[in-house]
Amino acid sequence: MPELPEVETVRRGLERLIVGRTIAGIEAIEPSSLTGVAANAVGQPVTGLRRRGKVLVIDLDKGISMVAHLKMTGQLVLRSPAGAASGPTATSKPTGDHAAAASAASNGPTGGTAGAPVAAPPRRQAATPALPGVSPTTASVPNSGAAGVSPIGTAAIEAGEAWGGGHPSDSLIGPLPDNSTRVVIRFTDGSRLYFNDQRKFGWLAVMPTAEVGAIPLLAKMGPEPFGPQAWPEFRRRARRHRRAPIKAVLLDQAVVAGIGNIYADEALWAARIHPETPIGALSDPKLKELLIAAGEVMDLSLKLGGSTDRNYVDAEGRRGAYLDFAQVFRRQGRPCARCDTTIIKTRVAGRGTHLCPRCQRRRQLPAPPAPKATPPPSDG
Ligand SMILES: [Zn+2]
């Protein structure tokens, strides 16, 4: 599963490539993968990309955003056919063009510089956009694309431009669309952004930028695990739990954002904490050490290209290097780098878990706290 570093890698890659490109049409091959009023995105240039936890936000002009969650098997792949404009600068049609397209799109159902008719009703965005995963798409750009979305062969990929990130599979480098392609976003320069998702747990949502933060997943999300400002908020949220195993707490996105199975195991090893330790048995300094370790291991992974999984290959053919540096993840049977004890694999919080049984000793909850638990009646 793509974790924070992989999603950040996707963000950085796409930021470099699609900011300034204008959306000509969106086709939902799998309607349940796209929610919101897709027509609102048509005619809008991409203005920036943000990430929060594992959620990617593609901001468009006119206060519209596209939110993406890659979940288990999602990936975003950009393809430009040979001869298509390459890079934001080359896409810049006269700005007047953008303005006209944008205004056409917002005035009626027929926006889109490439002339893609839009089936969506001309009504304004409803007060509450469809939430991801809650209701099927209410407006998908019609299948005019079916003919328009021609597979781009390998030769074209080689001659043109290809970039992809997310779940490692051949769809990152093979001809697209393929049987994992759920949504195709066409840009006015002829390039396309494919949202592929073999297992269909991921989603894309078009919504007003102002409402992105209110998506329940984002509204309750814990702090990013980087920097000194993360600690107080992480502590406050983590301490709501007492008996939960620390690994389960680390994986809880409402406690801290973006940590998945690999980085949880690596951070726990770095901080010498057994994954089953009840969080109530950990002191504040130990908990802080763990948070810092999580940030550092993600930072390292980002520097190495943010790969999570075996066989990770990005669209440029580079193999992600992170797992080469993993200390425990998928290293069962091999010696711990610190103490030479054999790494074991077990199961914690329902997840395969790797640890050094010597460096990461179990700890018990301390005795129940003194009976100051019952506060005196408050009389001011
Ligand atoms: Zn060890």
pLDDT along the chain (380 residues), means of 10: 84 91 97 97 98 96 97 90 52 37 34 30 34 32 30 42 79 88 97 95 97 96 92 98 97 95 95 97 97 92 60 46 74 96 96 97 81 58
Which of 219, 254, 286 is at the close of a domain? 219
Do residue 165 and residue 241 come from a single domain?
no
Those residues whose beta carbon sits under 5 angstroms from the ion ligand 1 are 336, 338-339, 341, 356, 358-359
* Phi, psi at 128, each rounded to 5°: -115, 115
Q: How far is the CA of 345 from the centre of ligand 1 (A)?
A: 13
Calculate how far, in angstroms, residue 281's C-alpha sits from the geometric centre of ligand 1.
20
**CA 191–ligand 1 middle distance (angstroms):** 49
pLDDT score at 38: 96
Q: Does 309 lie in the same domain as 189?
A: no
Q: Rounded to the nearest whole angstrom, what is the distance from the C-alpha of residue 2 to the centroid of ligand 1?
A: 27
Number of domains into which the chain is organized: 2
- What does the pLDDT read at residue 82? 66
pLDDT of the residue at 304: 73
- Which amino acid type is present at position 264? A
Q: Are residues 240 and 340 in the same domain?
A: yes
Measure 189 CA to ligand 1 centroid, in angstroms: 54
Distance 265 CA to ligand 1 centre (A): 13
Query: Per the domain annotation, does 365 fall within a domain?
Result: no
Are residue 38 and residue 64 in the same domain, yes or no? yes
Q: Which pLDDT score, from 0 to 100, does residue 174 have?
A: 82
How much distance in Å is there from the Cα of 340 to the middle of ligand 1?
A: 6
Q: What spacing in Å lies between the alpha carbon of 327 and ligand 1's midpoint? A: 10
Q: How far is the CA of 87 from the centre of ligand 1 (A)?
A: 48
- Residues 132 and 85 reside in one and the same domain: yes
User: Residue 197: inside a domain, yes or no?
Assistant: yes
Q: Ligand 1 centroid vs 376 CA: distance in angstroms?
A: 47
Q: Which domain holds residue 322?
A: 230-355
Asked, for residue 370, whether it belongs to a domain, the answer is: no
The answer to whether position 364 is within a domain reads no
**In terms of domains, do 181 and 299 share one?**
no
What's the confidence (pLDDT) of residue 259? 93
Question: Do residues 210 and 280 share a domain?
Answer: no
Task: Flag whether 33 is in a domain.
Answer: yes
- Note whether 22 and 146 are same-domain residues: yes
CA of 272 to the centre of ligand 1 (A): 8
Is 363 inside any structural domain? no
> Are 214 and 234 in a shared domain?
no
Ligand 1 centre to CA of 174 (Å) is 41
pLDDT at 165: 81
The answer to whether residues 54 and 192 belong to one domain is yes
- The CATH number of whichever domain residue 55 belongs to comes to 3.20.190.10
Same-domain status, 17 and 132: yes
Could you tell me if residue 310 is inside a domain? yes
339 and 213 co-located in one domain: no
Residue of 83, 47, 80, 77 whose CA lies nearest to 65: 47
Q: How far is the CA of 262 from the centre of ligand 1 (A)?
A: 17
What letter represents residue 139's amino acid? Answer: A
Give pLDDT, residue 35. 97
Give me ligand 1 centre to Cα 248, in Å: 21
What per-residue confidence (pLDDT) applies to 300? 85
- What local confidence, expressed as pLDDT, does residue 372 receive? 63
3-state secondary structure the chain: CCCHHHHHHHHHHHHHHHCCCEEEEEEECCHHHEEEEHHHHCCCEEEEEEEECCEEEEEECCCEEEEEECCCCEEEEEEECCCCCCCHHHHCCCHHHHHHHHHHHHHCCCCCCCCCCCCCCCCCCCCCCCCCCCCCCCECECCHHHHHCCCECHHHHHHCEEEEEECCCHHHCCCECCCCEEEEEEECCCCEEEEEECCCCCEEEEEEHHHHHHCHHHHCCCCCCCCCCHHHHHHHHHCCCCCCEHHHHHHCCCCCCCCCHHHHHHHHHHCCCCCCCEHHHCCHHHHHHHHHHHHHHHHHHHHCCCCCCCCCECCCCCECCHHHHCCCCCCCCCECCCCCCECEEEEECCEEEEECCCCCCCCCCCCCCCHHHCCCCCCC
Q: Is 347 left (phi over 0), alpha (psi -120 to 50) or beta?
A: beta
Kindly report the CATH number assigned to the domain that includes residue 234: 1.10.8.50
Closest CA to 17 of 63, 71, 84: 84
Predicted TM-score (pTM) of this structure: 0.73
pLDDT value of residue 141: 30
Angle between helices 284-303 and 261-270 (to 10 degrees): 120
